[in-house]
Amino acid sequence: MTLKKTDQRYSRFRFDAGSLSLNFVGTVRHRGSRPRDLLAAPEALPRWLQLAGLVTSAVPLSSEDHEEALLLREAVHDTVRSVILDQEPRHDDIDRINRAAKFPIAVPQLNRGANLILWETPDPLKACLAVIARDAIALMGDSTRNCLKMCARDSCRMLFVDASPAHRRRWCAMSLCGNRSKVALHRQRKKSLDIG
Ligand SMILES: [Zn+2]
């Protein structure tokens, strides 16, 4: 199957951070070097919400909605990063996450044919952001916080949940960052040996 040009762009979305809110944070790639915001275009966010399974059809968004979503994303990123680095998180970030979490999430309603779930909410975007914010709260507020990690590759710095039994994961994904870091380290060692 050949992907259309727009779909190829969305294929860069990653859903392997280990949690919904960190997948959302991961829509900015390469935070450690040249950050690239995959949600910069207004049409990208409705697509992400669908691919993340939060909505079944595209949610119409205003520019304020778009901005609100990205502000929540950065608040989650900065707070989780603070937790990982054992730094004091910003209170306004925590307030933003808590505010977003307060909005009621969509309610399931059965249609008259009893064969379809209709998700009812007065504001689909705020309901989605509430699910994301609640996920972030759950991540940081219980023992999962000890599993929060930042990719060791300088250019990446993706945040993820290390669910491995030994909690020794260093990279967001071995195939993406682990192997490249190992190759770079090998080259560096070889170079220093050659010089020596
Ligand atoms: Zn990485």
Structure tokens at 5: 């040009």
Which tens digit of pLDDT belongs to each residue from 89-132? 999 999 999 999 999 999 999 999 999 999 999 999 999 999 99
Q: Which residues, 6+ apart, have CB-to-CB distance to 64 below 8 Å?
A: none
16 CA to centre of ligand 1 in angstroms: 11
pLDDT at res. 186: 73
Look up the CATH number of the domain holding residue 119. Answer: 1.10.3300.10
Task: Tell me the average pLDDT of the chain.
Answer: 91
Q: 88 alpha carbon to ligand 1 midpoint, in Å? A: 24
pTM of the model: 0.88
Residue 17 Cα to ligand 1 middle (Å): 10
Of residues 142 and 73, more confidently modeled: 73
Instruction: Provide the 10 A C-beta neighbour count for residue 64.
Output: 9
Q: Cβ–Cβ contacts within 10 Å for residue 151, how many?
A: 24
At a CB cut-off of 8 Å and minimum separation 6, what does 85 contact? 150
Query: What is the pLDDT, as a whole number, of residue 176?
Result: 85
> How many structural domains comprise the chain?
1
Structure-block tokens of residue 120: 């009812």
Q: Six-digit token pair at 54?
A: 């939060």
CB-side neighbour CA atoms (13 Å) of 106: 21
In terms of residue numbers, what domain contains 142?
A: 5-195
13-17, 116-120, 167-171, 180-184: segment of lowest average pLDDT = 180-184
CA of 186 to the centre of ligand 1 (A): 18
